[in-house]
Amino acid sequence: MTTILYLAHLNPLTHAHIEIINQLKEDGETVKVMPVIFKLGEKEVTSKSFPFNFEVRKKMIESVFGDSVLITDDYTFEAPFKKYLPPLLSLKSWKLRKKILTGVKGDYYSYTGDKAEGYMLKLYRLKPKIGERRSLSAASVKEKMYEKALGKKSDWKADVPESVGKIIEENWQEIEKYSKLEDKTRRVLGMKFPIEGWSE
C-alpha cells in the first residue's frame, strides 16, 4: 500500500491542482491531501496570499473528489512560525513531520511541483517526488479574483471547477477584503509564511 502526501496551499483549488490529484490517485492507493494551515493560538491566520481558511478549502476539495481522497489538517504551523527554522535543528519542525505522517502505514512519498519545497521535503526525509510545475498557478487565479473585486474584467471562473467557483462566490467577502490590502507574507526557504504570527 502506497500513501502519497500532497502538501499544498490549494488557495484556491484550481484545474491544475485537480489534474495533479487525479494523477496521484492513479499512482497510489491513498492520497492524503494536506492544505497548509497557519495558526496563531486558536485563530487561523489568513492573508492576501492565503484568503480562504482550511474549512473552505476542504469544502472545495470535497466538492470535486468527495471521499476519494483523505483530507487532513496535519500540515499545520503553530505561531511563532520562525520557530520552525532552521530546518533539521528545530524541534517544532520535527514534530510537524511526525504529524504529517499521522496514519501513514507502509510505503509513502510526498509530491510537490516546487524544487525549493522539494529540497525541504528531502531534508525531512519525506521522500519527495518533484513534478512539473503547471502553467496555471493559484497565485494567478487569486490576482484575477482581486481584479474582479476591484471592478476590472476577469475570467477567473475559467480556472476553477464550477463547484469551486460557487464556494468562492459564497466566500467572496474574503476576496473583497484582501483586494484592498497589501500582501503581508514573507518567503523563507522557498515557502511563504504570514507575517502575522511570525515572531509572536
Task: Give SS3 for 129.
Answer: strand
71 vs 131 pLDDT, higher one: 71
Q: Are 7 and 34 in contact (CB under 8 A)?
A: yes
Judge contact between 75 and 34, C-beta under 8 A. Answer: yes
The pLDDT assigned to 193 comes to 94
Interstrand relation of 37-40 and 76-78 (parallel, antiparallel or unpaired):
parallel
Strands (E), 36-145: 37-40, 43-44, 70-71, 76-78, 107-112, 128-130
What's the pTM value of the predicted model, to 2 decimals?
0.95
> Is the backbone peptide bond immediately before 80 cis, with ω within 30 degrees of 0?
yes
Element (H, E) at 187: strand 185-188
The Cα 200–Cα 179 span in angstroms is 26
Superfamily, domain 2-193: HUPs (3.40.50.620)
114 or 49, which is more confident: 49
User: Which residue reads 511570525 in cell numbers?
Assistant: 198
Other CB atoms within 10 A of residue 144 CB: 17
Question: Measured between alpha carbons, how far is residue 129 from residues 114, 116, 118 in Å?
Answer: 10, 12, 7
User: In this predicted model, what pLDDT tens digit does every residue of 149-159 receive, in sequence order?
Assistant: 999 999 999 99
pLDDT at 132 over 90: no
Domain edges within the chain: 2-193
- Residues in CB range of 187: below 8 A, 6 or more apart: 193
Whole-angstrom distance between the N-terminal and C-terminal Cα of the chain?
41
Confidence of residue 113 (pLDDT cuts 50, 70, 90): confident
Q: Output DSSP code: residue 199.
A: -
- Please state the rounded mean pLDDT for residues 16-24: 95
Q: What is the pLDDT of residue 87?
A: 81
Which residue is associated with the grid cell 532552521?
86
Using one digit for the tens of pLDDT, what is the confidence trace for 5-16?
A: 999 999 999 999
Q: Tell me if 16 sits within 8 A of 134, measured CB to CB.
A: yes
Distances (CA, A) of 17 to 13, 28, 139, 164, 172: 6, 16, 12, 12, 21
Which whole number is the average pLDDT over 176-187?
95
- Please report which confidence band the pLDDT of residue 116 belongs to, taking 50, 70 and 90 as the band edges: confident
C-alpha cell at 138: 493559484
